[in-house]
Each structure stands twice: as structure tokens, then as C-alpha cells.
Amino acid sequence: MTTSEPAIRVDALSKRYGRTLALDEVGFAVQEREMFALLGPNGAGKTTLLHILCTILRPDSGAAFIGGSDVVREPLAARRRLGIVFQEPSLDDRLTVHENLDLHGLVFGVPRKIRRQRIEEMLDLVELTGWADKPARTLSSGMKRRLEIARALIHDSEIMLLDEPTVGLDAQTRERIWSYLERLRREREITVMVTTHYIEEVEGCDRVCIIDHGKILALDTPEALKREHGRQVLRLVLRNESDRQEILTRFAGRLAGETGAAAEAPILLNSDDAFVDALLAEYGNRLRSMAIDAPSLETVFLSLTGRELRDQAAGARERTLAFGRRGGEHTR
Amino acid sequence: MLTRGQLTRDFSGLAVVVGLLLLVTFLPPDTSLSEVEAKGAIRACVPTAYPPLVTGDPDRPGIDIELLRAVAGELGVRLVIATNDAIGRDFNPRHWNVTRGVCEVLAGGVVNSQLTRSFLDMGPAYAQTGWAIVAPEPLDDIEGHTLGALTLISGLDRIGLASYLRRRNVTVRVVRSGEDLAAGIAGGSLDGGVTEALLAAGLAAEKDWWTAPLPAELARYDLVFGLWKGDLTLKRKIVAAFAKLEADGRLAAILERYGVEPSGVVPAL
Amino acid sequence: MTIAGTARKPIPRRSPLLVQLGGLYGIWLREVKRAIRDRGQLVGGISRPILWVLILGIGLNPYFRGEVYGEVTFVVPFTYLQFIFPAVVALNIMYTSVQSAVSVIWDREFGFLREVLVSPMSRGTILLGKVLGGATVAVVHGSLVLILARFADVSLTPMEVLKALGLMAMLAFALTSLGVVIANRIKSFAGFGVFSNAVILPLYFTSSSIFPLDPALTGAQTRVVYPEWLVILVKYNPLTYAIDALRGVLINYNQFDPRIGILVMLAAGVVLFAIALYDFRRV
Ligand SMILES: Nc1ncnc2c1ncn2[C@@H]1O[C@H](COP(=O)(O)OP(=O)(O)O)[C@@H](O)[C@H]1O
Ligand SMILES: [Mg+2]
């Protein structure tokens, strides 16, 4: 890898599924040893982008390079550099933890001696050494994630792609996974590209790329994003409907996002301290609740998309898969 | 890395399966043996006379009779001989009226051939036979001679023999019994006879004649006891009995008494 | 907190052939391990032979045994138990092969396939590892039936066992490939029962497995004994010839030239694997 070449480069990448435009002329570059976050709600196109990068999906147009290798024309060279953690679990749950890692090493052509040594190191890194001989299905979902991260490192990958590695995990486990990633980047000097829809997680990343509906909305360091797009947002819930309507029409110019129709749905208003004071003076005794969101990535996203980034209900496909995972085991 | 525990766990399931299947093989598949044991007797259908397998002579009853007695002894049951004079008189075994209701074993000249196997199961082979020629003087070439053909034994390849003799321009006279054949040869109306090898050997020994097996292109067959198809439990017991007879030398002794080469028991299981 | 152990150490490059072979071994081993750990599959592997040989074979044996010397409806040199024995070997192979192949669907849905697709393994290697693994397990299950040989009064020499294993391997390879071809064409998976009822049992029952088409009869005569459509089904079922070849080795009885069976199995194996690979390259 030459120093001039970025670890990942994406040029005007587009991908369409039928009528859904999953990626729309996406372009960016990730530098070596960078911790790069791809932030976007469900359906933003994050997985699609990652699948193109790891060569299992072909783009409709545009190009992508891993360390200078074109993912379409030189998929093998590109894949050799990559360590991938897919969004959906891809462990073999009938194999033990160790066997899963060993299989990965075999398939990636890691010689036996290095394989054995690397497996030990990686199990140690993700703190699963004591579980080596347990079947993968007995692991908790957080442990499975950690195992998948360990697995992606067995073949000495330089670039880690992680697709929502923390989705569905509890806060403590999520923190732990981020600490592994941080440590990996520091000690192994690897590039990490991670997707997430948990906004609070990306604060520690070098750069954050906000993506929605297949388009890049912003790409910068978390600080710069907050500076540029972050606003103080006021959340208001009023006691009666007439006041609610009054505020909605009176401050229409300050509305920070879509407001739900329900009477209990908060009104989001761009604000500053002077505005807060004025509002309190006039409506203070008619409010049910009020909250002030300081400029954060959350408000950055809100101001960029007009929507809040929240967990959305699982799609039909996710539900089918979950069902199969529970009930389909014996048929596998 | 395959740890010992992992290996044991993986193969224990397989081992249980193999063990279970092995256990199953010890279940009796039918009732033939238990019937024999309940009756306390095993019944054998044999021809009236078929030397040296069955002679009708109480002092030297024949190889098959002696073998049957020994086998019955091993089974711990009596031997009941059902002589059947239709065997040997008639080519079509259906007319012999040998049925499951009459006997459990068919002996006295049963060979292991495709034809026999089509109707019967069989015990182990104890001697070999085939077609042989017998004549007062050695015949260098059978070309053009007149030979008597005695085909008592069922199961040998009659059609093969007929075509072989035809190709050699042999004039064939079919004879009905050993006596007829001996008389024909002695009287000079026949130059010699073609018959089953043991019979030919017996005849040659008795009359001090010459005998030789017919060329290898006519197959040689193993002599066996015929058993009913599907009588597996009885068959297994008989096979075991034969193995014992061979091991303690009784089989060889019986064969030797009648001047027959032991071929060694060919296990049928 | 710095641990020297996690620092990156580049892995020496190895010859691509060696890498493919190593991966082939890995994928094969995974299939075998998965199968061994699947208790359900093992239960099937033992219950099928026991039911077919023990219950069906023993149950029907009195109807096929000789009662009068020289008089049987069909002149065949075997007992019924012996006759169905090779077919039960084939049946066990069929079930296990197709069952292994169907796991392709699960691999596809549950991400394992994705994990190997992003490796340096070629599609051919991945598929071959999968099919060989499935075939290995199927041969093991077929061999389980051989344990019952003594019970079915089938005598086997070591040479015959070896020959039978060779034929079983060919059959298992072809059937696993067939399973993969079918699995690749299935979009939603309704369960293994569909496979069993729609593929395995029809193929099995029309393969001269549980009743012989008497070779002593001419084509015209066979059609007198059996309705013509059944005869045609049996004649055009490739499995007929595979089972016949197996029967030739196990009970020394052939209805057809045993080389036809070998040829059919080899051809089916190659063609089906090629189709499976063609489909697989487009995943
Ligand atoms: N295989 C597919 N077929 C059709 N549409 C798809 C497929 N995969 C993804 N999509 C659609 O493409 C869009 C982007 O999906 P995805 O990349 O999975 O988003 P994310 O990973 O950010 O949640 C979504 O609208 C999704 O419905
Ligand atoms: Mg996704």
C-alpha cells in the first residue's frame, strides 16, 4: 500500500434495488489508521456500501478501491486486506469458538503455526479464552460479536469493516466493543470503518459520515459537524391543544423537524438562550415539559435530515431471519 | 485443535449408533431354528441312492447322511431322513414334491449353482463336483465316441454339457441310473459315461475303471446342503456346526472314508 | 494496556493452490463436524436402516421365501431381505446427501456463506468442499447399513466392502450435487419434509429398489407383470442403475450391466456438480 493511496476510496458509487436507490453517487476516502464511522438510520444504504466494499455485491456504477485495488476487477487482492464483521451473525453455531476461528484461518490460508498463535492472541484480546471449547451457540450475542471481531483479525487484516457491530447489545457490551476497536486501531495500526445508527457511539471516531437515503449529508470530524450543523434544540410539550397550535404557527420558521400529530408529541424548535428566555416568559405556565438539547451529533442529524435517529422496528426480512434462528435450528 | 473431550463428544453419538445396529444383528430374523428345536428333529430330503453321498447301505450310509447326522448332533436334535425316489428319476424338481412341510434340509447332490440359488439357500460347501467322464480304459479324446450321460444331480449345467458334447461330435445316450450306465459300459454299447464327478469316482473305484474331470470350460461346483430361503437362523446354526466339524477333523474323516478330497469349508456367511 | 501480542505481523504468502486445498479441507471438516453433532441426523441414520431392513425385510420375507423346491413365482437368486439390503444402503445415502445439501440454504440465509465468499476461496473450492463434506457424511451413513449385513444374510469380503464404498462415494457425490442444485433453486425454505416427499421417496420407490424387474423376463413380459408406466419410470430412473451396481457388489446380482450404473453415477456427478457450480457463481 503506497502512502499516497487512501485505505478505502469510493467514487460516485451507485446501487439500485428495483425502485429503491440504495446508494446515490456516494464518494469519500478513508485514510490509513483512521477510525471512520458511517452513521445513518435503517435503510440508509450502509450495508449496501459495505457489501460492495467487501466484493460480494457489484455496484451499478462508480468504483471502489481497497488499498488501491479495485473491488470489482481485483476482488481477491481487495479481500485479502479486509477483515469483515457482517451485520448479521455469521458464526457457525455448531462449531466451537476455537473451531470457528480455525476454519476462518484455514479458509484465508493462514499457515497452521501462525493460525494457532493468532487464535490465542485474538481470543485473549476479546476476552474469550475461557470459552474456546464451547459451542458458538452457547455464547451471548455480545460474546458472539466479540468472537466475530476476533475472527476478522485472524488473517492479519489491515482494514476492518464492521457493519453495526453494536446493534441490539446492551450499553455495557457496546462500550466494551468500542474499547476493543479503539485498542486495535492503536496497537495494530489498522483502519477501521464502522457503521452504526447509534449516534452517541461515533463521538470518539476521527471522522463521521452521515448518510441517509443513499446520499452523503455531511462528512467531517465530530467537532466540526457539531460546530457547523449542531444547534441547540428545544423540546416542548404543551398542556392544551390551542397553545400547541399557536406555537406551531407562530414559530413555523424555527421548527427543527417533523412534529407528530399526537398532542403529546414534542415540538422541536431551533433555539438560543435569548429565545428560551422569551418563550419561558410568555408560555412558562402553560408548558407540561421542556428540554434543551445542547449541540450534539443528535441535533446535527436532526438538522440535516429533519428526522430523529432512533431504533426503528425490525423489517420483515429481519423478522424472518430471527424466526429461522429460533425455530430453524434443528433443520439446519 | 481437537481436544480429547471434543472428540469423545463428537464420536460418542456415532458409537452409540454403531452399537445399536450391532445389537440389532443379534435379533433372530425368523423362526426356522426355534421350530426345529421345538420339534427336537431336523428333517432332510435325500434321494434313495446317490453314491457316495447317499448309498442306502446302513453300514456306509454315504457322506451326506453322515454329515447330516453330525450336524443334527451339533444342533442337539434327531435326524429324520425322508428319502424321495422321485429325485433322480425326474428332471423337474417341482415333481419331487419337496416342500417346507416335508423337510428343512435338502441333501444328496445339491450344488451351489445359479439355478439352485434361484430356489434354495444353502449351507457351506464341503466338497467340489462337476461333470466327469468314466470309462474302462483311458480315453485320450472323446471325439466321436458314444457316451452315456447320467444327469441325476440337479443344479449342474446340463445345457452346457450337452453343447460341449455336441461340439465334440459325441453320440450321447441318456441313461436313467448308475446301474444302467455301468451295464452299458460293461456290455460295450457305451464307450464310457459322463456323469457327476463323485458318482463317476465311485463307479470307477468299484469297477476299477478310469475317470477324469471334464475340461475346465465346464464349471465345477461346490456341494452343499439346500436350505429354504428365508430360514436364516437355521442356516447360521448349520454353518456354525460345519465350522466345528471342520475344526475337529470329523468332516475330513467322513470325506476320507468315501475317498473324496476335502475342499475345505467355504464359509457361506 | 499495550500488549505486544496484538501488534500486526504480516502473514507469509503461500502458493494459491495450497491455500485452496487448505480451505477445501476446512470447509469439508466443517460439514463433517456439523453432521456428527446433529443428533437428529444420526437418529435418521439408524432408524431408517432398522425400519427398512428389520421391519419391512423381515415382515415381507415369508411372502418371498421358498415353499416348494422348484416352484417360486419369480426365479431370483436372493431372499427379499438380501434384495432390499443394497437399496437401503442407497436410501440412507440419499437422505443424508440431500440433507447436507439443503444446508446450503441455511448457509446462504445465515451468513456463513458470506463469510467464506469474502475469503480467497474460489467458488469452485467452496462448493466442492461442501459437496465432498456432504458426500462423506452420506457414505458414513450408508456404511452404517453395512453393519446389518450379517442380519440380512449378506456376506461381504473386504474387497467387496471396498468396491461398495467406491460406488457409495460416487452415488453420494452425485446426490449431494443434486441436492445443492435443487436447494439453489429454492427461494423460501419450507422444511426438509418437502424434499423428502418430493425428491427422495419418489426417486427411491421408482428405482427398482423394493421390487425387482425380473431380468429373465423380456421387455414385453415385464409389461405383463407390471403396468407399462411403472416399467418406464423404473427404466428411466438413473437411481435404478446405481442401486443395481451396488447390488452387483453386495449380493452378486445384476439386472443390468454394472458398468451402466458406474457410468450413470459418474455422469450425473459431473453434470450436477457443473450445474451447481454454474448457479453458485451467480450467488
Ligand atoms: N436485497 C435487497 N433487495 C431489495 N432492496 C434492498 C436489498 N437490500 C437492501 N435493500 C434496500 O436498500 C436500502 C438500503 O439498505 P441497507 O443498505 O441494508 O441499509 P442499512 O444497512 O443502512 O440499514 C433499503 O431501502 C433497503 O430496503
Ligand atoms: Mg444494515
Phi, psi of C182 (to 5 degrees): -65, -45
Confidence at residue A230, expressed as pLDDT on a 0 to 100 scale:
75
Confidence at residue B267, expressed as pLDDT on a 0 to 100 scale:
46
Q: What is the CA radius of gyration of chain A?
A: 23
* Ligand (nearest to CA of A42): 1
Confidence bin at A193 (pLDDT 50/70/90) = very high
Is residue A67 within 6 Å of ligand 1 at its C-beta?
A: no
Asked whether residue C43 carries a pLDDT value surpassing 60, the answer given is yes
Phi, psi of B87 (to 5 degrees): -65, 125
Fold of B32-129+221-257: D-Maltodextrin-Binding Protein; domain 2 (3.40.190)
Confidence bin at B217 (pLDDT 50/70/90) = low
Q: Which of the 8 DSSP states describes residue A142?
A: H
Confidence bin at C73 (pLDDT 50/70/90) = low
Distance A45 CA to ligand 1 centre (A): 6
Nearest-CA neighbor of A286 among A238, A324, A224, A251? A238
Complex confidence, ipTM = 0.84
Confidence at residue A216, expressed as pLDDT on a 0 to 100 scale:
92
Neighbours of chain A (3+ CB pairs under 8 A): B, C
Interface test with B, best of C69, C72, C144 (most B CBs within 10 A): C69
Confidence at residue A328, expressed as pLDDT on a 0 to 100 scale:
42
- B10 versus A8: the higher-pLDDT residue is A8
Q: Which residues of B, range 1-30, sit inside 8 Å of A by Cβ?
A: 1, 3, 5-6
Residue of C nearest to A113 (CA): C11
Cα(B187)–Cα(A63) distance, integer angstroms: 108
B176-193 per-position pLDDT tens digit: 777 888 888 888 888 888
- C4 versus B221: the higher-pLDDT residue is B221
- C168 versus A322: the higher-pLDDT residue is C168
Task: Flag whether residue A96 sits within 8 Å of chain B, measured between CB atoms.
Answer: yes
**What value does the mean pLDDT take over residues B56-78?**
89
Cα(C85)–Cα(A227) distance, integer angstroms: 80
- Contacts of residue A146 in chain C, CB cutoff 8 Å? none
Confidence at residue B268, expressed as pLDDT on a 0 to 100 scale:
41
Distance A311 CA to ligand 1 centre (A): 16
Task: Flag whether residue A102 sits within 8 Å of chain B, measured between CB atoms.
Answer: yes
Mutation pick for ligand 1 pocket among A10, A47, A210 (CB with most ligand atoms within 8 Å): A47
**What value does the mean pLDDT take over residues A179-193?**
88
CB count, 10 Å around CB of A257? 18
Asked whether residue A33 carries a pLDDT value surpassing 60, the answer given is yes
- Contacts of residue A121 in chain C, CB cutoff 8 Å? 5-6
Nearest-CA neighbor of B268 among B232, B220, B218? B232
Confidence at residue A117, expressed as pLDDT on a 0 to 100 scale:
92
Nearest-CA neighbor of B118 among C109, C77, C86? C77
B192-203 per-position pLDDT tens digit: 888 888 888 878
Contact criterion met (CB < 8 Å) for C65 and B24: no
On whether the CB atoms of residues C121 and A107 are closer than 8 A, the answer is yes
Distance C112 CA to ligand 2 centre (A): 17
Average pLDDT, chain B: 82
- C76 versus C135: the higher-pLDDT residue is C135
DSSP per residue over chain C, as a string? ---GGGS--PPPP--HHHHHHHHHHHHHHHHHHHHHH-HHHHHHHHHHHIIIIIIIIHHHHHHHS-SBTTB-SS--SS-HHHHHHHHHHHHHHHHHHHHHHHHHHHHHHTSHHHHHHTSS--HHHHHHHHHHHHHHHHHHHHHHHHGGGTTTT----HHHHHHHHHHHHHHHHHHHHHHHHHHHT-SS---HHHHIIIIIHHHHHTTTSSS---TTS-HHHHHHHS-HHHHHHHHH-HHHHHHHHHHHHHHS--SS-HHHHHHHHHHHHHHHHHHHHHHHHT-
Contact criterion met (CB < 8 Å) for A95 and C30: yes
Is residue A50 within 6 Å of ligand 1 at its C-beta?
A: no
Amino acid at position A145, single letter = R
DSSP per residue over A260-313, as a string? -SSTTSPEEEEE-HHHHHHHHHHHGGGEEEEEEEPS-HHHHHHHHHSS-----P
Angstroms from B238 CA to nearest CA on chain C: 14
Confidence at residue A312, expressed as pLDDT on a 0 to 100 scale:
47
- Contacts of residue A332 in chain C, CB cutoff 8 Å? 34, 38, 103, 106, 110
On whether the CB atoms of residues C31 and C78 are closer than 8 A, the answer is no
Asked whether residue A99 carries a pLDDT value surpassing 90, the answer given is yes
* Ligand (nearest to CA of A165): 2
Fold of B131-213: D-Maltodextrin-Binding Protein; domain 2 (3.40.190)
- Contacts of residue A84 in chain C, CB cutoff 8 Å? 118
Task: Lowest mean pLDDT of A269-278, B82-91, B226-235, name the range.
Answer: B82-91
**Could you say which of A102, A116, A133 has the minimum Cβ distance to residue B3?**
A133
Is residue A23 within 6 Å of ligand 1 at its C-beta?
A: no
**Could you say which of C36, C54, C69 has the minimum Cβ distance to residue B96?**
C69
Task: Lowest mean pLDDT of A131-145, A217-231, C267-281, name the range.
Answer: A217-231
Q: Read off the pTM.
A: 0.79
Angstroms from A76 CA to nearest CA on chain B: 28
Residue located nearest, by CA, to atom 4 of ligand 1: A17
DSSP per residue over C168-216, as a string? HHHHHHHHHHHHHHHHHT-SS---HHHHIIIIIHHHHHTTTSSS---TT
Confidence at residue C23, expressed as pLDDT on a 0 to 100 scale:
94
Asked whether residue C34 carries a pLDDT value surpassing 70, the answer given is yes
Confidence at residue B26, expressed as pLDDT on a 0 to 100 scale:
83
Confidence at residue C29, expressed as pLDDT on a 0 to 100 scale:
94
- C279 versus C219: the higher-pLDDT residue is C279
User: Reduced to 3 states, what is the DSSP secondary structure of residue A94?
Assistant: coil
> In chain B, what is the straight-line distance between the N-terminal and C-terminal CA atoms, in Å?
42
C258-278 per-position pLDDT tens digit: 889 999 999 999 999 999 999
Angular region, C256: left φ>0, alpha ψ -120 to 50, beta rest: beta
Phi, psi of B56 (to 5 degrees): 85, -5
Distance A209 CA to ligand 2 centre (A): 15
DSSP per residue over chain B, as a string? ---HHHHHHHHHHHHHHHHHHHHHTTS---SHHHHHHHHTEEEEEEES-BTTTB---SSS--HHHHHHHHHHHHHTSEEEEEEETTBTTBS-GGGGT-BTTT-SEEEEEEE--HHHHHHEEE--B-EEE-EEEEESS--S--TT-EEEEE--SSSS-HHHHHHHHHHTT-EEEE-SSHHHHHHHHHHTS-SEEEEEHHHHHHHHHHHT-EEEEPPTTSPPEEEEEEEETT-HHHHHHHHHHHHHHHHTTHHHHHHHHTT------B---
| A8-17 and A61-66 strand pairing | antiparallel
On whether the CB atoms of residues B63 and B258 are closer than 8 A, the answer is yes
Q: Which residues contact B146 (CB under 8 A, 6 or more apart)?
A: B170, B171, B172, B173, B189, B190, B191
Angstroms from A211 CA to nearest CA on chain C: 24
Contact criterion met (CB < 8 Å) for A98 and B1: yes
Q: Which of the 8 DSSP states describes residue A326?
A: H
**What value does the mean pLDDT take over residues C64-77?**
65
Confidence at residue C75, expressed as pLDDT on a 0 to 100 scale:
62
Show the cell assigned to A27.
464518494
Interface test with C, best of B91, B117, B232 (most C CBs within 10 A): B232
Neighbours of chain C (3+ CB pairs under 8 A): A, B
Interface test with B, best of A97, A98, A122, A123 (most B CBs within 10 A): A98
Confidence bin at B269 (pLDDT 50/70/90) = very low
Looking up cell 457463481 gives C281
Confidence bin at C254 (pLDDT 50/70/90) = confident
Confidence at residue B76, expressed as pLDDT on a 0 to 100 scale:
92
B96-149 per-position pLDDT tens digit: 778 888 889 988 888 888 778 777 888 888 888 888 888 888 877 777 888 888
DSSP per residue over A221-265, as a string? -HHHHHHHH--EEEEEEESSHHHHHHHHHHTGGGB-S---SSTTS
**Could you say which of C37, C62, C66 has the minimum Cβ distance to residue B120?**
C66
Residues that place a CB less than 5 A from ion ligand 2:
A 47, 87
- Contacts of residue A94 in chain C, CB cutoff 8 Å? 33-34, 37-38
Confidence at residue A332, expressed as pLDDT on a 0 to 100 scale:
34
Q: Which of the 8 DSSP states describes residue A315?
A: P
Confidence at residue C3, expressed as pLDDT on a 0 to 100 scale:
47
Domain limits, chain C: 20-61+75-280
- Contacts of residue C280 in chain A, CB cutoff 8 Å? none
Amino acid at position A310, single letter = R
Asked whether residue C223 carries a pLDDT value surpassing 70, the answer given is no
- Contacts of residue B20 in chain C, CB cutoff 8 Å? 46, 50
* Ligand (nearest to CA of A44): 1
Is residue A44 within 6 Å of ligand 1 at its C-beta?
A: yes
CB contacts < 8 A, A to B, total 9
Nearest-CA neighbor of C234 among C267, C205, C255? C205
Cα(A318)–Cα(A332) distance, integer angstroms: 18
**What value does the mean pLDDT take over residues C32-44?**
87
Distance A50 CA to ligand 1 centre (A): 11
**What value does the mean pLDDT take over residues A105-114?**
92
Confidence bin at C1 (pLDDT 50/70/90) = very low
Average pLDDT, chain C: 83
Neighbours of chain B (3+ CB pairs under 8 A): A, C
Is residue A41 within 6 Å of ligand 1 at its C-beta?
A: no
Asked whether residue C68 carries a pLDDT value surpassing 90, the answer given is no
Nearest-CA neighbor of A235 among A263, A271, A197, A210? A271
Confidence at residue C4, expressed as pLDDT on a 0 to 100 scale:
46
Contact criterion met (CB < 8 Å) for A76 and C120: yes
Is residue A46 within 6 Å of ligand 1 at its C-beta?
A: yes
E strand spans, A77-142: 82-85
- Contacts of residue B3 in chain A, CB cutoff 8 Å? 133
On whether the CB atoms of residues A174 and A194 are closer than 8 A, the answer is no
Is residue A232 within 6 Å of ligand 1 at its C-beta?
A: no
Confidence at residue A330, expressed as pLDDT on a 0 to 100 scale:
37
**What value does the mean pLDDT take over residues A67-83?**
89
Angular region, A189: left φ>0, alpha ψ -120 to 50, beta rest: left
Asked whether residue C44 carries a pLDDT value surpassing 50, the answer given is yes
Cα(A197)–Cα(A214) distance, integer angstroms: 14
| Residue A31 host element (H or E) | none
Domain limits, chain B: 32-129+221-257, 131-213
Confidence bin at B88 (pLDDT 50/70/90) = low
